[in-house]
A and B are shown apart, each in its own frame.
Chain A
Amino acid sequence: MRDDDIVNIDDIARELRRPAQVDRSFDERVMRHVLRLPRHARARLWSRLTAPRTITISPLGWGLAAASLMLFAALGVLHAKDDFHRAARPIAKALFPTSPKASPAQRVQFVLVAPDAKKVAVVGDFNGWDASHAAYQAQKRGGGVWSVTAPVPVGHHRYSFVVDDSLWVADPTAPRVVDTDYGLPNSAIVVEDNK
């Protein structure tokens, strides 16, 4: 290799090593060019959906669109209502298994012999154990007999008499209920549907 060749190569190498002087707008020009290139279909769809744009519509078109929207909304509400009922029914049934149709009631006569009593009431599952419930206050019939005929729903119930608001007495004529929870006696009654 000749000496002048070496000098030329050195010049070229020096020139190549010199930092490139890039125009400040170079990046922008490159990106504009890149954006003009064909793009992936999915990206194209996404940008079409998300890019802001101005839509112009004629009064007739706008009217038709509004009417369609209202029609769809009305249909949607109807379907949603059906949907709601369909969805809610099994869930409500699961949440409220005993939510119940009102059981039919039979009139039952309760009788207690309590000659010294001033007041006798019947309390039980059928009246929320409420001794002040008007329908379950027994009347004195003479000979120390107290009785009341009151509605009791079909089913199995526990009950008791409350004498003078303080004394709890199990019905001597009814099945007993062994119930040690509260230490006071109860009776049981099974009311059947006569229909």
Chain B
Amino acid sequence: MSARLRAFVALTLVVRAAGAQDPRLAQRLDKPTYVAVNAIVDSARVARLPTAPLVDKALEGAAKGSDGQKIVTAVHQLSIRMAISRRALGSNATGDEIKAAATALGAGMSERDLQRLRVAAGKRPVTMPLAVAIDLIGRDVPVATASSLVIQLARSSVKDSDLALFQRNVRADIDHGADPTVAATTRARGLVLRSGGSAPKPSE
């Protein structure tokens, strides 16, 4: 390829990269916040991480009336969590898996938990198990228990639709006054037994 063509390619890509910034960021963020968020988004793009969740995080902050510093910190933290998530889930992880795993890390799950979940699920997506784990943690099930139960369910090849049903049942049990840990463990045990596996222990 000639030098001129190389220059043309480079120029086109630079123009395209510059134009790739989400215009909503400029509309909803003040200038310093916009510049800082863009820098983080650019870094994520270079690192081949999904950038849409970072833009969404910034837009969420703007919608909630957060100040610029808080928005930049949240976006930066999310980019770090996404990098850890991809490392834990592997380079073939989808954008949705990385996004869900980053949220799970924010909720308290560890990188090791993500690795174990990846191994347990094999090639099946881990987005739904992660969403369920995040929900359990949000309902006061201890992080270690929630992670362990979800890993057990993934290992037992429980379908996503059954995981969604599990989450709804646990929520209903808690709303009716059950202890969150007992509700989650009991429901998970029933689901695993139904799918032919051995019943999980709370902190396995």
By a beta-carbon cutoff of 8 Å, the part of chain A in contact with chain B is: 80, 83-84, 87-88, 91-92, 94-100, 123, 125, 128-131, 155-156, 158, 168, 175-182, 184, 188, 190, 192
Residues of A within 8 A of B51 (CB): 98
Contact between B70 and A156 (Cβ–Cβ < 8 Å)?
Answer: no
Docked Cα-Cα span, A175 to B128, in Å, equals: 10
* Contact among A92, A128, A175 with B13 in the assembled complex (CB-CB below 8 Å): A92
* Contact among A88, A96, A190 with B45 in the assembled complex (CB-CB below 8 Å): A96
Tell me whether chain B's interface is mostly helix, strand or loop, or mixed. Answer: helix
Residues of B within 8 A of A98 (CB): 50-52, 95
Question: How many interface residues does chain B have, given as a range?
Answer: 35 or more
Residues of B within 8 A of A129 (CB): 56, 59-60, 62-64
Docked Cα-Cα span, A62 to B165, in Å, equals: 81
Min CB distance A166 to B, Å, is: 10
Q: Which of B112-120, B132-140, B184-192 binds A?
A: B132-140
Contact between A97 and B17 (Cβ–Cβ < 8 Å)?
Answer: no
Residues of A within 8 A of B164 (CB): 190
Residues of B within 8 A of A128 (CB): 24, 56, 59
Residues of B within 8 A of A94 (CB): 48
Interface residue B16 (Cβ < 8 Å from any Cβ of A): yes
Number of A-B contacts (CB under 8 A): 121
Task: Tell me the nearest residue of chain A to B59, going by C-beta.
Answer: A129
Residues of A within 8 A of B66 (CB): 182
* Contact among B8, B60, B103 with A182 in the assembled complex (CB-CB below 8 Å): B60
Given contacts A83-B1, A96-B45, A97-B50, are A91 and B13 in contact (CB under 8 A)? yes
Min CB distance B154 to A, Å, is: 14
The 9 closest A-B pairs by CB, nearest first: A176-B138, A175-B135, A181-B74, A129-B63, A178-B107, A125-B56, A97-B48, A98-B50, A155-B96
Docked Cα-Cα span, A154 to B17, in Å, equals: 26
By a beta-carbon cutoff of 8 Å, the part of chain B in contact with chain A is: 1-2, 5, 8-9, 12-13, 16-17, 20, 24, 45-46, 48-53, 56-57, 59-64, 66, 70, 73-74, 77-78, 95-96, 99-100, 103, 106-108, 127-128, 130-132, 134-135, 137-139, 160, 164, 167
* Contact among A84, A91, A177, A192 with B5 in the assembled complex (CB-CB below 8 Å): A84
